[in-house]
C-alpha cells in the first residue's frame, strides 16, 4: 500500500491481502478493485433510491389525478372568465357614469352654496371627495 500512499486499518489490509491472493492479483490492484466496486455500488444504489422515489411520486400524482372530480373543459373555463371580465368592465363603466353624475351634481351644489365648503377646499375638491364614495 506504500505505492498508493494509503494508510488503511490493519483488518482492511488483511482482507485486501486475502482477496488479492484469492484472485491472483497484487495488493494495489485489490485495493483499486475494492474502491471501484464501492464507488459504483454507491452510485447504483443512489440511482435506485432516486428511481424508487420518482416511482412513488408518479404513483401519488396518478392517484391525485384519478381522485379529482371531472372538471370542465378549458373552453368552458375561458368562456366563464370572459363573461366575468365583461361584467366587471360593464360594472366599472356604470360606476364611472354614476360617479361622474355625482361629481357634476356636487360641483353644482358647492358652486351654489359656497358656505358648505370646508375651509381651504375648492368646490372641485369637495365634489370629487363626495363623488368618490358613490
Local confidence band at 94 (pLDDT 50, 70, 90 cut-offs) = low
Tell me if the pTM is above 0.85.
Answer: no
Tell me the C-alpha to C-alpha distance, in Å, between residue 6 and each of 11, 23, 26, 33.
Answer: 14, 21, 15, 14
How do the domains of the chain map onto residue ranges? 1-68, 73-134
As a 3-state breakdown, the chain gives helix, strand, coil percent values, each rounded to 5, of 80, 0, 20
**How far is Cα 95 from Cα 117, in angstroms, rounded to an integer?**
25
List, for residues 29-58, the tens digit of each pLDDT value.
Answer: 888 888 888 777 666 777 888 888 888 888
Closest CA to 29 of 20, 18, 39: 20
**How far is Cα 9 from Cα 41, in angstroms, rounded to an integer?**
22
Amino acid at each position: 500500500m506504500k505505492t498508493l500512499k494509503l494508510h488503511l486499518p490493519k483488518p482492511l489490509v488483511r482482507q485486501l491481502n486475502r482477496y488479492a491472493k484469492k484472485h491472483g492479483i497484487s495488493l494495489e490492484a485489490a485495493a483499486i478493485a475494492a474502491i471501484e466496486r464501492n464507488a459504483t455500488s454507491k452510485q447504483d444504489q443512489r440511482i435506485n433510491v432516486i428511481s424508487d422515489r420518482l416511482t412513488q411520486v408518479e404513483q401519488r400524482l396518478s392517484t391525485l389525478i384519478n381522485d379529482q372530480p371531472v372538471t370542465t373543459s378549458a373552453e368552458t373555463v375561458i368562456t366563464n372568465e370572459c363573461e366575468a371580465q365583461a361584467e366587471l368592465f360593464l360594472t366599472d363603466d356604470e360606476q364611472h357614469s354614476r360617479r361622474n353624475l355625482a361629481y357634476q351634481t356636487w360641483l353644482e351644489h358647492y358652486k351654489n352654496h359656497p358656505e358648505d365648503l370646508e375651509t381651504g377646499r375648492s368646490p372641485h375638491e369637495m365634489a370629487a371627495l363626495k363623488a368618490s364614495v358613490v
